């Protein structure tokens, strides 16, 4: 959709998953594509309805957290489109972990007990709960891989002021608790997630997506403790199964590695997993909406016309 230029458009950016159009200096049109990325690499095949799933979960969760902090979202004129306020983003991502999973587990398994300046306790198994959630920020790379960074390094490097960090930390932990509460109502455990924030003037806003399968990892609560005690694999809803498939096929985004072939059956499996997570998290049946690019563009144009430009 990058071929179109919308009314009052001043900039365009295509990210790993989203296409972002700047309208004047104050608004963003964010289109969630069906692209999928892992290890900071865009995979060669698209996943049907992934964009709609991500956009609709994010919109649902943003509306459920407006009492915690302001967020960027104004409207969703199409199933995979959000329009909202343009913020000046902090150049970090606030990753918060309730369980020892993913990158934290790989770090722990290597024998290292410190991640992003946070010491992890001894004696944990994969997927165990931390005594309390930990924040493990990363840099936000425009290209290539994000990198772990500590709170002290963030402040020392001037990425965030000490006062802003205090508020970011507070928002992150409160948002994570809200996400865990919503997940628990649906029989899920929100194991980890990430948030992105920005500023307009002196006000901090929550940006982008939250609590989606691209930014979060969910476990099924039923049978969780039993599976932990027996060493069985946890049943989860997240993008981690895609990463695990890539690792099993010798791809981790490193130089010289090739993305393994994605069969139509595997693509359909990924699509169904995204839809399953939508239905579990939202508690409603997924309604796939088929719009052409032209129909989506028209809905965006109509929504832009209603902005206070």
The per-residue pLDDT for range 73-95, each reduced to its tens digit, is 999 999 999 999 999 999 999 99
Secondary structure tally for the chain: helices H, strands E = 8, 17
Q: Is residue 19 part of a domain?
A: no
* Confidence tier at 4 by pLDDT (50, 70, 90): confident
The stretch 65-78 carries a mean pLDDT of 98
Question: How many CB atoms neighbour CB 286 within 10 A?
Answer: 17
Two structure tokens written together for 131: 């005594």
Beta bridge partners of 23: 9, 27
Residue 164: CB atoms within 10 A of its CB come to 17
The pLDDT of 161-173, averaged and rounded, is 98
Torsion of CA 273, 239, 180, 82, to 10 degrees: -80
Is residue 137 in some structural domain? yes
What pLDDT, on the 0 to 100 scale, is given for residue 232?
95
Q: Provide, rounded to the nearest whole percent, the portion of the chain with pLDDT above 70.
A: 97
Q: pLDDT confidence of 309, banded at 50, 70, 90?
A: confident
Q: What is the pTM of this model?
A: 0.89
Could you tell me if residue 22 is inside a domain?
no
Q: Could you tell me the CATH number of the domain that includes residue 207? A: 3.30.470.20
Give the whole-angstrom CA distance, residue 101 versus residue 97. 8
Instruction: Tell me what pLDDT residue 31 has.
Output: 96
pLDDT of residue 25: 87
188: domain range?
89-241
List helix spans (H) across the chain.
50-63, 102-109, 151-156, 162-185, 224-230, 240-248, 264-282, 293-305
**pLDDT, tens only, 19-52:** 999 999 899 999 999 999 888 888 999 999 999 9
Tell me, what's the pLDDT at 45?
92
The reported pLDDT for the residue numbered 173 is 98
Q: Is residue 287 part of a domain?
A: no
Examine the pLDDT at 218 and tell me if it is beyond 60: yes
Q: How confident is the model at residue 185 (pLDDT cuts 50, 70, 90)?
A: very high
For the chain, the domain total comes to: 1
- Kindly tell me if the per-residue pLDDT of 1 is higher than 70: no
pLDDT mean over 269-275: 91
**Beta pairing partners, 84:** 28, 73
In a domain, 297, yes or no: no
Report residue 214's pLDDT band, with 50, 70 and 90 as the boundaries. confident
Specify which residues 177 forms β-bridges with.
none
Non-local (6+) Cβ contacts of 8 within 8 A are 23, 24, 304, 309
| Residue 58 domain flag | no
Give the whole-angstrom CA distance, residue 130 versus residue 139. Answer: 23
Three-state helix/strand/coil letters over 100-126: CCHHHHHHHHCCCCEECCEECCCCCCC
Q: Indicate whether 35 belongs to any domain.
A: no
* Within-domain flag for 70: no
pLDDT mean across residues, the chain: 93
Please give the average per-residue pLDDT across 265-284, as a whole number: 92
């Amino acid at each position: 959709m990058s071929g179109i230029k919308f009314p009052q458009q001043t900039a365009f950016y295509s990210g790993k998953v989203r296409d972002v159009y700047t309208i004047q200096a104050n608004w963003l049109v964010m289109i969630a594509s069906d692209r999928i990325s892992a290890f900071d690499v865009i995979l060669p095949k698209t996943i049907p309805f992934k964009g709609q799933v991500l956009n609709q979960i994010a919109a649902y969760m943003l509306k459920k957290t407006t009492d915690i902090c302001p967020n960027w979202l104004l409207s969703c004129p199409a199933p995979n489109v959000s329009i909202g306020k343009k913020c000046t983003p902090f150049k970090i991502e606030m990753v918060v972990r309730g369980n020892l999973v993913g990158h934290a587990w790989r770090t722990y398994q290597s024998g290292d007990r410190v991640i992003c300046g946070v010491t992890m306790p001894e004696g944990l198994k994969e997927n165990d709960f931390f005594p309390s959630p930990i924040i493990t920020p990363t840099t936000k790379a425009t290209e290539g891989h994000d990198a772990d960074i500590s709170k002290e390094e963030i402040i020392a490097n001037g990425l965030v002021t000490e006062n802003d960090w205090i508020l970011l930390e507070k928002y992150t932990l409160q948002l994570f608790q809200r996400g865990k509460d919503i997940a628990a109502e649906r029989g899920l455990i929100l194991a980890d997630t990430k948030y992105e924030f920005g500023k307009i003037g002196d006000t901090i806003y929550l940006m982008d997506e939250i609590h989606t399968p691209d930014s979060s990892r969910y476990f099924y609560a039923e049978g969780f403790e039993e599976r932990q005690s027996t060493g069985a694999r946890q049943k989860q809803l997240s993008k981690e199964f895609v990463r695990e498939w890539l690792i099993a096929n010798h791809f981790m985004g490193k130089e010289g590695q090739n993305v393994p072939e994605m069969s139509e059956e595997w693509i359909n499996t990924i699509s169904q997993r995204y839809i399953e997570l939508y239905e579990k998290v939202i508690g409603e049946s997924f309604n796939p909406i088929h719009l052409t690019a032209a129909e989506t563009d028209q809905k965006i144009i109509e929504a832009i016309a209603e902005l206070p430009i």
